[in-house]
Amino acid sequence: MGKKCVFVNGGSGFIGCFISIGLAARGCRVIVIDKMEQLAQMRESLYEEFIKARLALLKKHDVNIVTMDIENSDKYIKLIEEYDPSCIYCMNAVTNVKFCNVNPSIAITENIARVENILDYIRKTNPNIRIVFASSSSAYGNFTKDKMGESEPLKPVNIYGFSKRASEELIQLYNRIYGIPYTIIRPSAPYGPLRVNQTITQIIIERALRNETIQVNGDGEARLDFTCVSDTAEGFVLAGVEETGRNEIFNIACGEARSINDLLRITRKYFPTLKVEYKEQDKTAAERGTLDIAKAKQLLKYAPQFPLETGYPKYIEWYLNKDYTKID
């Protein structure tokens, strides 16, 4: 019997790359499907190096990359018929909250319509293919409990969060009507090597390296469940390959929210003269916190390995070492 085949849409992206490597390490035949458009638009020389490193790592792990837009139904359906994947990871999305608010039509197209495309391809070819969808903790909106479990209502406060909630509902509707199995994953604030889209964990390190002032929204006490990408990817892999992940929704995070000021304190150990400027809080940002990961621990045996005091220094040292293909 040949290797189990898995498609990873958006597999050359940040989380998708690590998921693809993790799946390959488990013996899966991994096909990355990516239109490479975002990567081709990178003009920052440092980020170009990160992109090259991602592609080199995928090649090193024998991951096949197919360059195409998933909107191309004929070509995508032919790929399904050729490779017969057991599941399809949907990692492709516009993830920048501000961009989604300014460009809602693009967010709706890329974050909802593209998910419907994949669901329909599965419906037309093999409704037993499981879709593994990257949602977001942003779908919860403002956190109303100390720990937000998967059963809490979704009340997004921005276009990005809305697009994730809408896609979740669409996936579950296709399951009820057509029987397509699914796994929905809500990650939180992933950070780590090879990220290029300017999240706060990345901004702090890069500005510290350039001795520039770091601007922080609010007083720095906003808390997120920062998660090392190694842990995020492992959660996605487990959710997709384990039968216990079928037709389930999981929070995948570290399980402990930490503040922006905590990030700054860790960074100052490496950059003692770190300069910080606090400014008015962005009103479109949700008030987030800790995700309850008990369900993932129980059903998937998910066990995050990198709390912030371990994972974030590892990330800083990766920048300092400048060996961008070394991600262990």
3-state secondary structure 27-85: CCEEEEEECCHHHHCCCCHHHHHHHHHHHHHHHHCCCEEEECCCCCHHHHHHHHHHHCC
pLDDT of residue 323: 85
Instruction: Report the mean per-residue pLDDT for the chain.
Output: 94
pLDDT digits (tens, 9 = 90+) for 114-126: 999 999 999 999 9
Percent of the chain surpassing pLDDT 70:
97
For position 106, what pLDDT does the model report? Answer: 92
Provide the b/e sequence for 235-268 (b: ≥16 CB within 10 Å).
bbbbbbbeeebeebbbbbbbbbbbbbbbbbebbe
The pLDDT tens digits of the residues spanning 112-164 come to: 999 999 999 999 999 999 999 999 999 999 999 999 999 999 999 999 999 99
Residue 39 has pLDDT above 60, yes or no: no
241's tokens: 């390959």
The mean pLDDT value for 21-38 works out to 92
pLDDT, residue 326, reads 84
Q: What CA–CA distance (Å, rounded) separates 223 from 220? A: 8
Return the higher-pLDDT residue of 37 and 235. Answer: 235
- Residue 298 CA to residue 73 CA, distance in Å, equals 38
Q: How confident is the model at residue 1 (pLDDT cuts 50, 70, 90)?
A: very low
247-284: per-residue pLDDT in tens? 999 999 999 999 999 999 999 999 999 999 999 877 66
For the ranges 146-155, 223-232, 270-279, 317-326, which has the lowest average pLDDT?
A: 317-326
* Structure tokens that stand for 28 in this block: 């899966």
Report d(CA 257, CA 183) in Å as an integer: 24
Higher pLDDT, 62 or 326: 62
What does the domain layout of the chain look like in residue ranges? 5-191+227-255+288-307
Choose between 211 and 327: higher pLDDT.
Answer: 211
Q: Are 85 and 7 in contact (CB under 8 A)?
A: yes
How many helices and strands (H and E) does the chain possess? Answer: 13, 15
Residue type, 216: V
Q: Tokens at residue 278, please?
A: 């606090």
- Picking from 291, 283, 287, the residue whose alpha carbon sits closest to that of residue 253 is 291
Q: Averaged over 281-305, what is the pLDDT? A: 91
Residue 270 host element (H or E): none
Class of the domain covering 5-191+227-255+288-307: alpha beta
Count of positions (residues) in the chain: 328
pLDDT for 198 equals 84
